[in-house]
Structure 1
Amino acid sequence: MTVPRPASASALPPHGEGAAGDRAIQQALEAAWPADLPHTDERQLGTAGRALLRADATGIGRARWPGYFGRSGHAVAPAFAAARFRIQAAIARRDGGPDRAVVHLVWAGCDRGGTYTDGRITDLHFTRTTPMDTTEKGGGLAWTWQPHM
Structure 2
Amino acid sequence: MPSASAIGTPSGTGTASEVPPSGAPAAADGPAADARIEAEFVANHPGDLSAQDAAQVRELAVRVWTAETTGEGREQFPSYFPPAGTPLRPYTQVRMQAFSAHTAEGRVIVQLLWAGADPSGAYQDRRPGMLAVTRTATGWEPVR
TM-score, normalization: structure 1? Answer: 0.71
Amino acid at match of 1:117: Q
The answer to whether 1:38 aligns with 2:50 is: yes
Distance 2:72 2:121 in 1: 19
Q: Deviations over 1:26-60 (max 9, x none)?
A: 11122123331122211111111111010111111
Amino acid at match of 1:89: A
Q: Deviations over 1:90-126 (max 9, x none)?
A: 12221234xx101111011111211111111111011
Q: Secondary structure at the match of 1:69?
A: coil
Counterpart pick for 1:29 among 31, 41, 52: 41
Distance 2:85 2:37 in 1: 32
Distance 1:20 1:14 in 2: 14
Q: Which runs of 5+ in 1 are unaligned?
A: 1-11, 131-139
Aligned position for 1:80: 91
Give the conservation status (yes or no) of the 8 Å contact 1:56–1:78: no
Amino acid at match of 1:118: D
Count of paired positions: 120
Which is bigger in relative contact order (C-alpha 8 A, separation at least 6)?
A: 2
TM-score, normalization: structure 2? Answer: 0.73
Give the conservation status (yes or no) of the 8 Å contact 1:13–1:21: no
Higher share in strand: 2
Using the TM superposition, give the Cα deviation of residue 79 of structure 1 relative to its aligned residue in structure 2, in angstroms: 2.8
Using the TM superposition, give the Cα deviation of residue 89 of structure 1 relative to its aligned residue in structure 2, in angstroms: 1.3
Counterpart pick for 1:112 among 107, 116, 119: 119
Q: Percent identity?
A: 33
Q: Which runs of 5+ in 2 are unaligned?
A: 1-19
Equivalence map 1:44-123=2 (5 Å): 44-70=56-82, 72=83, 74-76=84-86, 77-81=88-92, 84-97=93-106, 100-123=107-130
Amino acid at match of 1:93: H
Aligned position for 2:141: 144
Larger Rg: 1
CA RMSD of aligned residues (A): 2.0
